[in-house]
C-alpha cells in the first residue's frame, strides 16, 4: 500500500504537519501559488466572460514536477493550504494539474497546527469550495484590470514606472485627504485654569475649572482668563460635592488580525508586515524542546473573536490554578461578532494556553517571544474577571466658578494583571491613577497656586500604521490578510512615506491621487471599494455570481477609462507660463512638475538650469520661496548654508554648490523647529584618528563616517543586516557604489571577494538550502519586474513580491 500525498504551501508548515501524520503520509510544499495571471499581458478575456489565462509561475517547474511524481505513486491526495480564499485557490490550481492522475483528491482545513487539529482534519476531509475559489478569482481579476489598465495611462500622462491599485489607491487617498484636513485646519485658542489645592491631609492635588454659573467653562483668550483670576483672587475654595463610584472595566476580546497589527505597532513598534511575518512563523510551527515542531498560535488571518470550547475549558483551568478563583468568571466570556466579520476562523490565540511565554522563551527569538507574549496575555486576560476601580469626583466652588478634581484607585486588578489596553488612536495607558486626600463636603481648602494655561486646538493627527489599519477596517477597505500588503505597497510605490512614525503623502502621491480621483471617482471612492468587498463576500457565500460582478464593474470602468485617456491632465507636457524673469539669462520662467512637486524653471532649459521653489497663496497666486539661510557655516568650505527641500525632506546645503556638495539633514526638534539631525554614534572607533564613527546620510543612503569630519574624512559602508555567505568569512554584506552603479559586497574586501549585483536577503532558500536569497530585477518584454529568488543558478526557486496576489 502506497503513501498518501499531502500538499501545503509552506516548507516549515510541511515539516510540522509531517511530524503529526507519520510514515503513511508524504508532505510536500508548493511554496505559495503555483499558477497566476501572466505578467506580459492582461491575461483576462473580457469579451468571453472574463476568462482568466493562468500560467505556471516562473521557478515553480521543479516544484510541480516533484508534486506530479509523488502524486503518481500516492494512494490519495490531500490538499492542505491555508483555509482562506488564497489557500483555496492554491488547492484548486494544484487539483487542476493533478486531476488526470486518477486519484481521489481531498481538501483538508484546520485552524491550528497541533496534533488534535491535524488528526481531526484528516479524519473528516472535504472537497474544494468553488465559491471561495471564485471569490479569489474575482478579486485577482478586479485588481489586474485596474492595475493593468490605469498604470499605462499614468506612464503616458505623468512618468514611466507608476502604477495604480484598486485597494492601495484608496489607502493613498485616505492619507492625502488627511493631509488636506491638516493643511486647512485653523487652530483656535483656548485657556485652561488649574488650581493647586491643599486639604487637611496630604497630598496636594489639582482641580480644573469646569463650569461658570453652571454652564461649561469657555475661556477663549488671555483677557477672559485674567478676568476669571481677578474674580477668584482672595476667595474661598470650598468642597461643594463629592461623588464616589465603583466602576468595572471589562477585558477586551482576543486578537483579530487588525487588532494584533495595531497593538504590535503601539506596544512593540512592529510594522504590520513584520507582525504578520512573525505570526506566520508562530502559526506554522517552531521546535519547542521535547515537543518538537509545533504550531504555537492559531491562524493569524481572521476577523473573528470566536474561541473553541476546548480552548475555553483549558484557559479557565489555567486561570483558576495560577491566579485564583476570584479571577475566574462564572461562565466563559463570549464576544460579539464584528460588523462584516466572516467568522471562518477562531480569534488569534495560543494553541495551548498552558504553553506560557516564559516556558518557551528559550526556543523563540526576541521578537517572536514578544509577539507570542502579547497574544498569550491578551487571550488569557480576555477570559478573566473585570478590573474594579474606585473613582472619586470632587466639585469645588469659588463664587460662580466650579472646579473639579478626579481620582481613582484600583480595588481589584482582574484581567489588568496581564493586559493593559491602550487607546485606539494615539496610545497611552488607561490606568493613569490620581490619588486625592480625604475630603468632606463643605471643607475649606487652601490655595497653593492657580495656573492659567494657553492652548490651541490641534488638527487631526497623521496616520500611524495602527490608526491607518483601524481606519481601513472600519471603512471596510480590504480584508484582514491585506492590511500589511496595503501599507507596504503605498510606501514601495513612493506615494507615501513614513516620517517620525506617521504617514505623509509624497508630492508624487498627491499628484497621482488627484488625477485618479478626478478621472476614476468610483475606483477611488471609499464606499464603492467597501461595497466591492461585500460583493466578494457574497460570491464566497454562493449568493452572487463572480462573472456578473466583474461585468457590472467593467461596464462602468471601461467608460471612465476612455474618458480619462482624453481628459486626464498630461503632466508631462504641462508648462505653465509665469511673468517671472530668470535673473540669470533674462528668459521667462515656467512651472514644471518634478519628483518633489511643482517648481519654477527657466524656459531656456537645458541651456539655463535656474530653478526656484514656490508656494501658491489662497487665491492661487505664485509666491517665490525666499532662500532660508541657516545659522551655521559649511564645515567644509565655511560658506553660508541654506535650507532646501529634497526627496527625503528639508536639508541644509552649501551655497557654493556644485563646487561644494556638503549637506546636513534636518529633523523636527522637540520645540517643533527644524534642527540639524544629531549624529548617531556607533561603538566603532576610527582607525585613522581614534575618534568615534557615526552613522551619516548621503545621496545613496546611510554610511559610517568619522565624527571628526571634516578634519578626518574616513568613511566606511554600513551593514545591510546580512552576514557574508562566504564559508568561514565572518564579515557582513555592505552596499557599495562604483561608477554610479550599486552592488553588494563583503565588508572584509579584499580578503573576501564576495559580491552580488542583487541585494542579498537574510533568508535561506527553501528549495536548495542556499544560505541567502536575493531581490532581483528581471526583464519581461519592455518592463522590469521585481521578485525574490535563489542565487544558485541550478535552483529555480523564485517568488513574486510586486504582483503576488494578497492572502485573504
Q: Hey, which residues are catalytic here?
A: 299
Instruction: Judge contact between 655 and 667, C-beta under 8 A.
Output: no
Which three-class secondary structure string do you get for 20-36? Answer: HHCCCEEEEECCCCCEE
Would you tell me the crossing angle of helices 85-98 and 130-157 to the nearest 10 degrees? 100
Closest CA to 808 of 99, 276, 185, 416: 276
DSSP letter (8 states) at residue 204? P
Instruction: Judge contact between 167 and 490, C-beta under 8 A.
Output: no
Please state, in angstroms and rounded to a whole number, the distance separating the CA atoms of residues 303 and 649.
Answer: 38
DSSP letter (8 states) at residue 267? I
DSSP letter (8 states) at residue 48? T
Q: Which residues are 503's β-sheet partners?
A: 498
Angle formed at CA 364 by CA 363 and CA 368, multiple of 5 degrees: 165
Instruction: Judge contact between 397 and 240, C-beta under 8 A.
Output: yes
Q: Which residues are 201's β-sheet partners?
A: none
Cα dihedral 653→655→657→659 (10° resolution)? -130
Based on C-alpha coordinates, what's the Rg of the chain? 31
Please state, in angstroms and rounded to a whole number, the distance separating the CA atoms of residues 519 and 169.
Answer: 13
Instruction: Judge contact between 95 and 130, C-beta under 8 A.
Output: no
Angle formed at CA 635 by CA 633 and CA 639, multiple of 5 degrees: 45
Cβ neighbour number for residue 276 with a 10 Å cutoff: 23
Strands ordered across the beta sheet of 783-789: 759-761, 773-780, 783-789, 798-800
- 310 grid coordinates: 476546548
Q: Which residues are 429's β-sheet partners?
A: 422
Task: Using DSSP bridges, classify how beta strands 76-79 and 4-8 pair: parallel, antiparallel or unpaired.
Answer: parallel
Task: Using DSSP bridges, classify how beta strands 663-668 and 674-676 pair: parallel, antiparallel or unpaired.
Answer: antiparallel
- The string of DSSP codes covering 513-550 is HHHHHHH-TTTT-HHHHHHHHHHHHHHHHTSS-HHHHH
Instruction: Judge contact between 185 and 463, C-beta under 8 A.
Output: no
3-state SS, residue 44: strand
Which regions of 255-400 does DSSP assign to beta strands (E)? 286-287, 293-294, 387-398
Please state, in angstroms and rounded to a whole number, the distance separating the CA atoms of residues 704 and 712.
Answer: 13
CA distances from 496 to 12, 270, 486 (A): 34, 18, 11
Place of cell 534642527: 675
CA distances from 36 to 143, 478, 715, 798 (A): 13, 20, 46, 14
3-state SS, residue 659: coil
Angle formed at CA 47 by CA 45 and CA 51, multiple of 5 degrees: 35
Amino acid at each position: 500500500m502506497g503513501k498518501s500525498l499531502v500538499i501545503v504551501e509552506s516548507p516549515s508548515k510541511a515539516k510540522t504537519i509531517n511530524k503529526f501524520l507519520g510514515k503513511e503520509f508524504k508532505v510536500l510544499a508548493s511554496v505559495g501559488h503555483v499558477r497566476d495571471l501572466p505578467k506580459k499581458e492582461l491575461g483576462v478575456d473580457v469579451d468571453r466572460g472574463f476568462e482568466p489565462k493562468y500560467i505556471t509561475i516562473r521557478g515553480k517547474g521543479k516544484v510541480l514536477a516533484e508534486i506530479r511524481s509523488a502524486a503518481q505513486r500516492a494512494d490519495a491526495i490531500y490538499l492542505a493550504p491555508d483555509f482562506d480564499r488564497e489557500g483555496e485557490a492554491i488547492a484548486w490550481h494544484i487539483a487542476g494539474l493533478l486531476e488526470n492522475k486518477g486519484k481521489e483528491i481531498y481538501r483538508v482545513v484546520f485552524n491550528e497546527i497541533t496534533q488534535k487539529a491535524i488528526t481531526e482534519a484528516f479524519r473528516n476531509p472535504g472537497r474544494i469550495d468553488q465559491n471561495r475559489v471564485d471569490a479569489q478569482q474575482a478579486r485577482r481579476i478586479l485588481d489586474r484590470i485596474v492595475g493593468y489598465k490605469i498604470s499605462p495611462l499614468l506612464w503616458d500622462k505623468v512618468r514611466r514606472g507608476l502604477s495604480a491599485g484598486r485597494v492601495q489607491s484608496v489607502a493613498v487617498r485616505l492619507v492625502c485627504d488627511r493631509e488636506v484636513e491638516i493643511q486647512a485646519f485653523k487652530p483656535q485658542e483656548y485657556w485652561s485654569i488649574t488650581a493647586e489645592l491643599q486639604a487637611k491631609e496630604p497630598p496636594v492635588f489639582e482641580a480644573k475649572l469646569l463650569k461658570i454659573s453652571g454652564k461649561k467653562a469657555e475661556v477663549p483668550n488671555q483677557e477672559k482668563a485674567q478676568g476669571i483670576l481677578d474674580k477668584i483672587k482672595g476667595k474661598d475654595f470650598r468642597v461643594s460635592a463629592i461623588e464616589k463610584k465603583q466602576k468595572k472595566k471589562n477585558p477586551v476580546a482576543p486578537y483579530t488580525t487588525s487588532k494584533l497589527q495595531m497593538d504590535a505597532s503601539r506596544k512593540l513598534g512592529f510594522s504590520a508586515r513584520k507582525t504578520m511575518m512573525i505570526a506566520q512563523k508562530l502559526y506554522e510551527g517552531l521546535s519547542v524542546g521535547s515537543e518538537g515542531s509545533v504550531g504555537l498560535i492559531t491562524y493569524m488571518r481572521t476577523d473573528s473573536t470566536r474561541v473553541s470550547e476546548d480552548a475555553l475549558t483549558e484557559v479557565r483551568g489555567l486561570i483558576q490554578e495560577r491566579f485564583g478563583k476570584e479571577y475566574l468568571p462564572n461562565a466563559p466570556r463570549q464576544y460579539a461578532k464584528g460588523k462584516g466579520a466572516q467568522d471562518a476562523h477562531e480569534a488569534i490565540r495560543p494553541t495551548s494556553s498552558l504553553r506560557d511565554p516564559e516556558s518557551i522563551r528559550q526556543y523563540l527569538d526576541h521578537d517572536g517571544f514578544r509577539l507570542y507574549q502579547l497574544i498569550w496575555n491578551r487571550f488569557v486576560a480576555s477570559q478573566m474577571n473585570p478590573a474594579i476601580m474606585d473613582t472619586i469626583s470632587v466639585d469645588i466652588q469659588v463664587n460662580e466658578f466650579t472646579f473639579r478634581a478626579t481620582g481613582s484607585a484600583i480595588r481589584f486588578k482582574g484581567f489588568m494583571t496581564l493586559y493593559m489596553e491602550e487607546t485606539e488612536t494615539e496610545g497611552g495607558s488607561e490606568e493613569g491613577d490620581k490619588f486625592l486626600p480625604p475630603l468632606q463636603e463643605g471643607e475649606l481648602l487652601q490655595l497653593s497656586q492657580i495656573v492659567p494655561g494657553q492652548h490651541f486646538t490641534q488638527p487631526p493627527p497623521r496616520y500611524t500604521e495602527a490608526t491607518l489599519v483601524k481606519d481601513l477596517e472600519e471603512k471596510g477597505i480590504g480584508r484582514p490578510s491585506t492590511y500589511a500588503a496595503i501599507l507596504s505597497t503605498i510606501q514601495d510605490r513612493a506615494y507615501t512615506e513614513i516620517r517620525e512614525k506617521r504617514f505623509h503623502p509624497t508630492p508624487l502621491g498627491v499628484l497621482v491621487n488627484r488625477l485618479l480621483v478626478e478621472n476614476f471617482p468610483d475606483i477611488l471612492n471609499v464606499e464603492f471599494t467597501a461595497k466591492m468587498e461585500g460583493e466578494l463576500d457574497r460570491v464566497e457565500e454562493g449568493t452572487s455570481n463572480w462573472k456578473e460582478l466583474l461585468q457590472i464593474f467593467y461596464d462602468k470602468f471601461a467608460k471612465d477609462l476612455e474618458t480619462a485617456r482624453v481628459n486626464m491632465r498630461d503632466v508631462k507636457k504641462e508648462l505653465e507660463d509665469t511673468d517671472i524673469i530668470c535673473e540669470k539669462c533674462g528668459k521667462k520662467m515656467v512651472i514644471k512638475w518634478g519628483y518633489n512637486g511643482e517648481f519654477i524653471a527657466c524656459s531656456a532649459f537645458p541651456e539655463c538650469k535656474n530653478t526656484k521653489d514656490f508656494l501658491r497663496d489662497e487665491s492661487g497666486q505664485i509666491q517665490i520661496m525666499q532662500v532660508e539661510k541657516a545659522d551655521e557655516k559649511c564645515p567644509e568650505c565655511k560658506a553660508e548654508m541654506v535650507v532646501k527641500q529634497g526627496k527625503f525632506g528639508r536639508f541644509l546645503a552649501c551655497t557654493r554648490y556644485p563646487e561644494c556638495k556638503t549637506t546636513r539633514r534636518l529633523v523636527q526638534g522637540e520645540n517643533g523647529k527644524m534642527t540639524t539631525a544629531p549624529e548617531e554614534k556607533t561603538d566603532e572607533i576610527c582607525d585613522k584618528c581614534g575618534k568615534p564613527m557615526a552613522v551619516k546620510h548621503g545621496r545613496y543612503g546611510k554610511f559610517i563616517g568619522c565624527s571628526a569630519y571634516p578634519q578626518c574624512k574616513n568613511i566606511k559602508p554600513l551593514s545591510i543586516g546580512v552576514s557574508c555567505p562566504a564559508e568561514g568569512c565572518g564579515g557582513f554584506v555592505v552596499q557599495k557604489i562604483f561608477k554610479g552603479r550599486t552592488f553588494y559586497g563583503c565588508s572584509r574586501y579584499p580578503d573576501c571577494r564576495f559580491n552580488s549585483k542583487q541585494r542579498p536577503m537574510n533568508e535561506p532558500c527553501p528549495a536548495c538550502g542556499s544560505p541567502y536569497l536575493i531581490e532581483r530585477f528581471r526583464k519581461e518584454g519592455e518592463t522590469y519586474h521585481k521578485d525574490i529568488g535563489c542565487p544558485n543558478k541550478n535552483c529555480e526557486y523564485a517568488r513574486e513580491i510586486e504582483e503576488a496576489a494578497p492572502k485573504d
